[in-house]
Every structure is written in structure tokens, then in C-alpha cells.
Structure 1
């Protein structure tokens, strides 16, 4: 294999090897197939060269340390989870300010103050540490992924993983002293855990990838680890789940593919042995996503897309749970996705907390569960995101709230109240932050569809006009262009919601703008919006992002040299595809843990689970759509048509423990860009920031901050962001 230098002073780029597949009669070159082997000596040498490239370039990113400091400042607060109640006990996680990981703690609290929990009862110095990943593994590689206490509060199932692989260990610990009970279960991946309500201490758990082929739900005794197989998955593309509702009902679920369809069954654990539950269908075979919970009145409430693309809540009796017996409790509301709900109140006065989202901003209302009528609006602290509502024994609701300027905090909504209060009582307020202006710009995609783009600007820099772009309204008056990050995700029906990001806040406070394109493929405007950008329609999501970038420039909110696209995972695929389709679109691209090779995505990471979102190479029409936007192949083809084509500067990130998208994607994409693209001013056209011992999901705070500071320092360098701006655009101090 020959070696050449395309850029003076840059690391050498090896000539590609000749691998060509023939798919549906079409030759598909794959010159960097060898980079799929992470431990191959050639790959390791190549990664060393990329590390040198990155270090050389990063030395000139003058805002890197300032961004790091600002991100840390905005994170400098205790981060709590909502508490889980057990007799005489509260359990929660807390990541103290400055700590690298959250730890699981317990408070001994009298039953009569469990929900409100006086400040004295939940003081940090009264917390008993049940599990601390930093103490268990001082290297910081271990993360606490999930936990679930048993009904008595004496035991808790704790799931951990190391090195980012998200396939870890499930242990049972004693809450009193944190000591392990019985043998551990290895190889679990974010398993649901559901404790049996009575009898010997045992729990159901999910094994998704069993080497013996028995994928599904198991019942395991905590004391000695003996277990029985309860139910198999119905197919290779399903993700099972288990919950126990109301201390009596076992809910078994199967998500098919990526959440487009959910099947549910229910069993009464008092009617038979736990190892052989009599599961009755709640919903099976419907093309609908549904989740269920038990109300204080003993009825089963279901949030569903069945006959309701914006989602509604139905109710049925657990003895007759099938769709034919459902009654609509809360109807769908056009234009707002019913994102989550929680049954609350009392048996005599049952209520439902309902959270809806519209273009990333959430609202919450409390409804009468019997009539569905709204009875009060919840007074949220601002325009932000509500997540994880959960009901306490007294009928109150705990929920997580965050917005652009405030880190996530726990709120408690007492029965009958419309104003939630912070929990734990006396919790310190979040660090000071700038005021952020939010406006919505509308653009038209290639097929004429109007696509919203949310634009955020810190006070001190001029906000964009309320009506901008080529949507309805009057022509936008001139605005001062600012360096702008344009983010998109556009996958799996997930809406982009405006919670807290210390990185975004740091970028805004230095005088930049931040925009989010609500492209098709996401769930930003309901289920139809998702389906309009999924499968063979995925190219529409790319077109939407291109239109959003053009609209920002046309509205003079930014200039081409001051625009950087940013996306991760499925969003990384999107920004790479947009840049490959329109190399003149922007100055820079950040693609974090992206998909890139769509001819082989099913063979890498969890790609085989995502064929309902992207299609499958096995189908000729799906294959044609995949190849029309696959960034890796677009760049390879561009190198043949236009040698030395200039693309935006690209920063790719990859993690060797990534078991979702697989780090082969950014490795191969980086190699293709280095070989095909023309460089600028002696710098390589693509950089790869590659990390070991981390993966796609959670990591230590220090490593997360380092990654974010590097990525946004790169963006600042390429877009010209500088804190020394004129008075009109002066950054927040």
C-alpha cells in the first residue's frame, strides 16, 4: 500500500485498497473496508496519524480553554434525579457539583413526610451512599446505567457498564450497606427490572443478546441467582420490556424496530405462579406506539398513537385490556405531541398529568381522569422541557424540568396545586446564566414543505426578527450576522426539545447564535412528520437541513463562512449528507459518532435494528434511497467526478466502545474525506477526535466537557467566533 501526502505538513494518507461490492447490479466501492477492523495494525497506525493531525490543529483553537471553563461553570450545581419511594425510605441519584458521576443515595424518612420530605430529612450529609461508581472504579470508566429498588426498599438492582460499551453487569445490593447479594448477571444492556410483589425476593429482567439464543424475559432469585426463562422475544428486531404496575400486574412489552410499533400484554401475578404468568393482550399487531400505567382508581391508562398521530390517552379495565374495550380519556391535540403522562390524585379523585410539546417547548396540564377535562395548568418555571413524570404514594407528581439557561432540577407538584416546588427542599439555585431570546424562522424545503428553525441568541447580541426567512409574514429587516451553529437530528421520531446544554449556553454567551432545524424524520411536528423523513423518504430530511442553512444566510442571521452544521449519531449522518450534497453550504461540520456508510450500516453496531428507520440494503428501492445520500459514498463518487473538491472543514468524533453506531463509520468517513477533498491553508480537510474507553452513551463529566470544548472550539475557529465583538454583540461575561 503506497503512502502519499496531499497536504504539506499533514499526516500521510494511505492509498485505498480495491474492495468493490456489487449490490442490485451496481458496483459499490468500499476502499476503506479495512478500517472496520478496529484492532488491525494498519488501523492503529492510521489512528495515530489522525491523533497527530487533531493535536496539531487543536493547538490553534484559541477559545478552547475559555469554552471549557464556561461549560464547567454552567454545570457547577448538584444534579438530582426524582426520588423513588419505599416504606420509610427515599432513593435518588445525585451528582454533586464538581463530581464526575452520579451516585445512588438513600434517605431514611418517616412515611408521613415521604413526598414533601422536609429539608432536614434530605440534607446531603444525611444521605447514605448505596453505590458510587467513582468509588467502585477510580479510573472513571464505569457508569451507573440504571437502578430499581425492590418493594420493601431493602434491596436494589443496579446496572453498570465500563468503557462505554453499554453492555454491563446487573447486581443486587443491600440498601443498608451497599453489599452485593447473590451472583451478578453479566452482559445486560439497559435491562428493564421488575421485582415480584411478594414471595421469595425475585425479579424479572430482560436479556436482549443471549449467546445461547434465549433472548427475552427471565425471572431470577436475588439470593442465589437461580433463574427460569419466562418468555422469548417474538423476533430478532424486537426489544422486550417488563414492569410491575400497582404491586400486582405484570406488563410485558415489545418494541419492534425503533419504536414505530409496540405490543403489550398484561398478567395478574396473583392469579398464577410468577414463572408462568398468564399474559393477556393489551395491543398486538397494531402499527402504533403505546405505553401503559396504572391509575389510583385501578384502571389502566394508555398513551398511544393508535388512531392519533399526535397521541392521546385511553383508559380500560385491567381485566379487559384489549383495544376493543378502550375509552378515550384525553384526546389528541393537533399541533402538539402528547409526550408523557402520569396518573395521579387519589382513588376517589383520579387525575392525569399530561405533558405536551410544540417545537421543543413543553407545557403541562392536569386533567380529570374520569372526564378528560383539563382542571388546571401547571405553572412551569420557564420555556423548557419536562421529563420523567412519576407519581408518589400521596398522589403528588415528581418531574424533571430544564431549559436553555437552567440545568435539570426536580420539581414536586402537590395534589391540587398548579405550582410545582423544587425538590429537595432548599436545593441551591442553578448558576447564573444569560437571558436567551428564542424565535422561529420558517423556510421552504425542496418540495415546498415549510420547515421550522428555532434560533437562540443571548441577550447582548441582536435577536433575529420574529418573522424571518421565506415563510409567511413580512420581509425580515436586516439583522447582524453572527457565527452560528445549526443543529439537526431528524431520526427515529425523536423531537428536538430545549432542555439544558452547558455547551450551547457557553457558545451563546461568547456571542454566537444557535439554531435547530426541525427537519422531517424527527418527531417535532407529530408522527406524520417523522414518517415523511424516514425510510425511502430520508433524503427529505437532508433537503430540509439544506433549506434551513440557506434560510439562515438569506435572513442575514449568519454568513456562509460563519456557519457550522452540528449533529450526533443519526444527526451526524444528516449533517454529513448535507455537506456532501452541498459542499458550499457552510464553513464547518461537527459530526459526533455519526452513521456514514449506509451500504453497510446493518453490519455495524446496532444497525440491524434500524431498518424500519432507514430501510434495508436487501431491498432495491431502499438501497437506491440509501445510496442517494450515504455520505461516505457521495464523497467517494465526488472524488471520481471532481478530484480535489473542497468540502467544509469536518470534525468527526469516534469512540472505540461505541456499540450503537460503531466507530468504523467516522473512521471510514474521515479516510474518504482526506483522500478526496482539497485542503485549505495547509490544514487537512477532516479531523478525527478518537477516544478509547468510552462509548455512545454516558461518560464521566470531565470527558464530556473535554469533548464538548474541543468540538465547539473547532467551530469557533472555523466560523470566526471571538469574544471581542462590537458592543452590539457583546457576550455575556
Structure 2
């Protein structure tokens, strides 16, 4: 296939000296989406993409199969408040999941359907929280993928919107007080009260009284603290205890405060320090038995659960209930206390595979295990607010659409509570759990998914993330199944920087250790080649967001190792990343150019600054979203221009720039179109034929 000429892009002689190092930035003009030159360049890139993708075979087949597999729909775990039940479900025909409620008389009805709110499909339901009595619902929606949530209140019985919008509520928790008359929430300061460029920051905790103007909201917490702080807020089931947490950006640590609302007013809580200035993460849950349960990785990087009295919540009073496990990571817990012998259920991940154990609530003694459907991923474990003997959890694996399982502690049995509503024919696959050694000898785990009976080197996609403590666990994926069904192999590496092995594993891939993540990916590729799973000419890599940084670094560090790359919503200019989107909240993960040593780390691997003219780079498809307010698409725009200029081979460098879409949730039809383009591109450039 003959590649059309790349759109012209002027190269400016812009060089800045940072900490004594000259740093060039020839495509800085592409940072301005409103510049006519940027608009013209994006239009030309769109035409090039259309021409190149239109010439590739197999897209209709991928699109059709992905569509079929996504007809499984989805189902969410139930939440009980008062006499009502709430859950999310997406049927095969729906673009978005719908929030349903089951009324006291057993009638099920749709409570919030994003397509009813907006038939264009551009509105997403970002979060929801019923009050403690199940009478009012706080919910948050955003439009066009911008994730700029507005908060509304609904009367659940009648389905009427009674308040809103309350803007600037992105990522806001909602903590109701008993009676449904007021709640705590988090809101950013108005743009008129913050410096230019800092409109995404400066959050505060407020108390809002239902039926009053937000102008009357009471400022509770956050004034004068770090501008990039995120705040958590929660109120115990009985309404007595308020907890507030604060973390600087995405830092893996938090400060934590507690107030007894029976001894101080909700509008002026007397907050007591639980944890402050400590390099650890902790959270609190108030038991119906009067005890305070602490979920923490303090002195326990794989996490543990401690117990204390709420009146003495500080660290020196914590007592281990569930100690740290030497191998598994403690991920979740639930309390079932309507039993002769109350128990605690503990969720674990062992090399990213989920399991649940049962423990005596008083002593922590291990009593047994919860049966699970298979080797896969378990979602959050939930119980009724008033206690009971039942728990619910989500389950999925590589061939199983999401389901909700019910565990009965009286019988020790697990049963299917609700399956995804659509019936689909899922292809048979083999999932192999591999281990390999990275450059420094560290053992890394990897899942390798393939079609039964397929042997010899095959077109392979290697996927990774390696950041922010997020774990790569098995899950139902229409894209992966479509690829494997055609005879390809899909590998998912559990790189350092993730959470698969606990907080130490995360920190081994952040800040000064970030190169470990890239080395782990290269070693995964070399292992797949050495074991004849694939060859360099048939190996692709794929990643998004922080995973986009991963594959961007990989293609610049080891271009000969990969045939094709899909780089989605990536960070790529690591010198200026803090200036755009939510970048300033991530310098606790990556580092800041303001400090000489941290600048050196960033400059050493920043993909945009490591593009070299005359190198034969892999075929690369950048997929970005113009409404992305987390990672600005300018990263991919600049990198695309740089690679198009530098490319020494005829392998294409393409940009897919999608409007009215963002970093997170989207309509199913948009997901299908994106996935079909990505798989078609990868298939052609790795030799996978349909």
C-alpha cells in the first residue's frame, strides 16, 4: 500500500534551556486547538486517516464481531437504601447503562437513562448516591466526554428532578446525613477566584442543605491547603461519624480526619487527626458493633485491616485484625454480622487473580473461602447497610461477561444473582499465565490469551499500563475476543507501577523508577519472541493514558522490537505535561520539571523529545479525543507531527482525532467504531488475516 504524503507541519526553532539542558519543541504551535494552523493540520490528518484506513481490509468483520460481543450488555451490583434497591444495567440495545430502582412493592423501573436525558448519546451518568433512607438521589452527569460533572437531586418516588445543576463537581463524593436534609460534597472554587490556568484545581468540602441555594453552602474543609488536593468525605451509617481525607493529586498517601457529629454540629465538625503527614493510605469503616475498622497500607504495602475504638482513632491504638499477606494484596472487605458468629469477608488479588476469604469478625481467624465462579476478577463486595448474612460481588474473566454473584454466609454457598442481560456466543480461548524476567532480574507476570489449537508465531498484541497502582486483571473484552478469534494472540503484562503486587510494586515504577516500567514491557516483548509466541514483525503494542506514555516510550526506545503501535489518549510531552489538563495532579507519580533531578528523569524518557530523524519507527495510530480534559490531545498531535517528520520507513504514522468524546465513559457505538479502527490497523501491520 502506497502511503499518501503527510500533511505539512512547520518546524519552529524553539529551544529552551532547562537546568542547563537545551530542550527543543518544534511543534509547540500545535498546543493551541483554536489556532487556524492547528485546525487546518487536524483536518488534513483526518483526510489522511480516512484514505489510509479506508484501504485496509477486514474492518467490517471486526466491527460486526465487536458489536455482537458487546450485546452481552452489563450488570452492576445492588445497593440498598431504606426499602429500595438500586443497580445499573445495560441491555443489548442500549448505548449506556441505565440506573434502575426496585420499589418497596417489588416494582422495577428505570430511574436514570442517559439516552432519555440526551438522545444524542453524548451525556454520561458519572456517579450517583441515594440518601440513607432511599428517598432522594444525588447524581452527576457530564456531556461530550468532558467529565465536568454537574450535580442534580431527584425525588426517587416520583422521578422528579428537584435541584440542580450544581456545577464544578467533577469527581465529587456525596455523603448524606440521616434524614436526607443535607449532604457533604466536594466542589471546585469558581474560576473567578483562582489564578488563570488553575480552574481544574482548588477543591473544597461543603455542606449543602436540600432546598437552599449553593450560595448558602457551608465551607467545611480545604481552605488554604494544597491546590491539587483531592478530598474524600463519608458519613457512617448511623450518621454519627464524619471522615474527611485529603491526598495531593494522585499521590499514594492521604491525610485523614474524623469528627463525632453527636458532639459537634454538622456545619462545624470538630475534626480530629487520624493520620497526617504519613506516607501511607488509610480509610475508615464504622462497624455496627461500635468498632472502627481501618483499611491501610501503613507498614503493610500489601494492605491490612486494623481495628480500634472510634474515640481513639490514631495509629498507636490500631490493632491488627487481618494482617498483611506475604503474597496476596488485600483489596476489599465486607462485614456480615446477622449471624451467630459474625464474619468479615476479605477480597484479595494474587498476581491479579481475585479470591475471597472468610474470617471471624472478632479475632480475624480465617474460617474458609467464598466459592467464586472461576479464575478471574471480583468487583466490590457489598452488603446491606443494616447488616445481614448476604453479600454481593461482581465477577468477570476473559470469556465471561460481567455478572453479580450472591454469597450466603449461613450456607457458605455462592449463587448467580444476575447475569449480563444479553446472550452472546463467546469464542473459546486459552489463557496462559506466564512469568518472565525484566532487565534487572525482577519476575513479572503476564496473561497470554490465544485461540485453542493455534501454534507457532502469531500476530500478537502486547498490552500494558504500569502506573498509579492500577492492576491489570482478567475481564471480558469484545476487542480481545475478536482479535483472538481471528487467530491472533493477546498478552497483558503486569508491569511495575501497577498494583498487582501491592504498593511497593507501584513505587518500583514511579518517579525515578519509571524506566523500570518500559524495561518490563521490552522484556515482555522479548519473552514472547523467544518463546515463539510471535516475532518482532508480528508484534504490536497497545496502551492508553499512562499506557499511552508506556507505548510512546517503547516505540522511541526500541523501535525495532515492534511492528505496530496503538497509542490512545497518551501523555507524550513529559516536559510540559503539568501545564495541561489534570497534569499538575500527576507530578507525584512522574515528577516535576521544576526540580533538576526530576527534570532529568522526565527528559530522559519523554517520548516527544526522544524522536530521532531517520529512524524506522513502527506503524503507529494515535487515537485521541478532543473533549479530553484529563490528558490534552496536544500530546498526540505534537508526537504525530514529530514522527511523521522523522519516519525513515513507509510504515504509516496516523492520527485519529475524535470530537465530542473524552477520556472516560462513552456510548457503545463510539466504543465499537474506535475498537474496529484500532484492530483493523493492528491486524494489517502484523499480518493477521480474517
**Quick check: 1:39 aligned with 2:34?**
yes
Q: How does 1:432-511 map to 2 (within 5 A)?
A: 432-462=425-455, 480-511=456-487
**Quick check: 1:56 aligned with 2:73?**
no
Corresponding residue for 2:390? Answer: 396
CA contact (8 A) 2:71 2:422 kept: no
Aligned CA distance change for structure 1 residues 403 and 654 (closer, same or farther; 3 Å):
same
Distance 2:290 2:488 in 1: 52
Distance 1:506 1:417 in 2: 39
Aligned pair partner of 1:201 in 181, 204, 209: 181
CA contact (8 A) 1:359 1:496 kept: no
CA contact (8 A) 1:486 1:514 kept: yes
Corresponding residue for 1:130? Answer: 111
In structure 2, the residue corresponding to 1:545 is in which secondary structure?
A: helix
Distance 1:428 1:554 in 2: 42
**Quick check: 1:217 aligned with 2:208?**
no
CA displacement, residues 80-137 of structure 1 (integer Å, 9 cap, x when unaligned): 2212212221112221222001122211135xxxxxxxxxx4xxxx422222111111
Corresponding residue for 2:358? Answer: 366
Corresponding residue for 1:230? Answer: 220
CA displacement, residues 384-440 of structure 1 (integer Å, 9 cap, x when unaligned): 11112111132421211111111111122123343322224x875752323332223
Q: How does 1:639-658 map to 2 (within 5 A)?
A: 639=613, 644-658=614-628
Distance 2:77 2:411 in 1: 18
Corresponding residue for 2:658? Answer: 691
CA contact (8 A) 1:182 1:224 kept: no
Task: Tell me by how many angstroms 1:311 deviates.
Answer: 0.8
Aligned pair partner of 1:564 in 529, 533, 540: 540
In the alignment, structure 1 segments of 5+ residues that lack a partner are: 1-6, 111-120, 463-479, 724-733
In structure 1, the residue corresponding to 2:379 is in which secondary structure?
A: strand
Q: How does 1:375-386 map to 2 (within 5 A)?
A: 375-386=367-378
Number of aligned residue pairs: 675
**Quick check: 1:622 aligned with 2:589?**
no
Aligned CA distance change for structure 1 residues 41 and 256 (closer, same or farther; 3 Å):
same
Aligned pair partner of 1:387 in 379, 387, 390: 379
Aligned CA distance change for structure 1 residues 186 and 46 (closer, same or farther; 3 Å):
same
**Quick check: 1:709 aligned with 2:684?**
no
CA contact (8 A) 1:294 1:343 kept: no
CA contact (8 A) 2:432 2:449 kept: yes
Aligned pair partner of 1:88 in 70, 83, 91: 83
Corresponding residue for 2:291? Answer: 299
Corresponding residue for 1:476? Answer: none
Task: Tell me by how many angstroms 1:36 deviates.
Answer: 0.8
**Quick check: 1:411 aligned with 2:405?**
yes
Distance 2:421 2:636 in 1: 41
TM value normalised by structure 2:
0.95
- Bigger shift: residues 447-456 or 587-596: 447-456
CA contact (8 A) 1:20 1:28 kept: yes
Corresponding residue for 2:637? Answer: 667
Aligned pair partner of 1:354 in 346, 349, 355: 346
Corresponding residue for 1:155? Answer: 136
Q: How does 1:2-41 map to 2 (within 5 A)?
A: 9-41=4-36
Distance 1:586 1:696 in 2: 26
Task: Tell me by how many angstroms 1:24 deviates.
Answer: 0.4
In structure 2, the residue corresponding to 1:61 is in which secondary structure?
A: coil
RMSD: 1.8
CA contact (8 A) 1:259 1:289 kept: no
In structure 2, the residue corresponding to 1:10 is in which secondary structure?
A: coil
In structure 2, the residue corresponding to 1:388 is in which secondary structure?
A: coil
Task: Tell me by how many angstroms 1:51 deviates.
Answer: 0.7
Aligned CA distance change for structure 1 residues 8 and 308 (closer, same or farther; 3 Å):
closer
Aligned CA distance change for structure 1 residues 83 and 581 (closer, same or farther; 3 Å):
same
**Quick check: 1:68 aligned with 2:63?**
yes
Corresponding residue for 2:198? Answer: none
Q: How does 1:95-114 map to 2 (within 5 A)?
A: 95-109=90-104
CA contact (8 A) 1:302 1:313 kept: yes
Task: Tell me by how many angstroms 1:138 deviates.
Answer: 0.9
Task: Tell me by how many angstroms 1:377 deviates.
Answer: 0.8
Distance 1:160 1:428 in 2: 24
TM value normalised by structure 1:
0.89
Aligned CA distance change for structure 1 residues 593 and 91 (closer, same or farther; 3 Å):
same
Task: Tell me by how many angstroms 1:445 deviates.
Answer: 2.2
Distance 2:317 2:423 in 1: 47
Corresponding residue for 2:197? Answer: none
Corresponding residue for 1:469? Answer: none
Distance 1:260 1:701 in 2: 32
CA contact (8 A) 1:493 1:530 kept: yes
